[in-house]
Amino acid sequence: LISLTPSKRSVFTTLGSRTLAVYCTHYCFIYILFDLFDLKGALASALPSAWHFALIAVGVLVTFICSNKWFDKGVSFLMNYKIKLKKE
């Protein structure tokens, strides 16, 4: 598997370095889209024969949104934030 890994940088290399942001934030988008707005039902009624492909497209879109550099900066800030507790 390592021999198949490319040695040059690409768009996927940049997105792959932000996996923590995707991992931490994607569930919020999935919850909003599927539980609050019932996206699966809306796609099934709008595209009866191709709603599976639309769900894949939504997943890819959510991944690209969550791998945005702004999400990565926010998640990195939260993960590296040190809270100092006072001893009383």
Contact between residue 26 and residue 33 where contact means Cβ atoms under 8 Å apart:
no
For residue range 2-51, list pLDDT tens digits in order. Answer: 666 667 777 667 767 778 778 878 888 889 998 999 999 999 999 999 99
Per-residue DSSP letters for 47-67? -TTTHHHHHHHHHHHHHHHHT
Closest CA to 18 of 63, 62, 57, 78: 63
72, amino acid identity:
D
pTM above 0.75, yes or no: no
At residue 83 the predicted structure's pLDDT band, cuts being 50, 70 and 90, is low
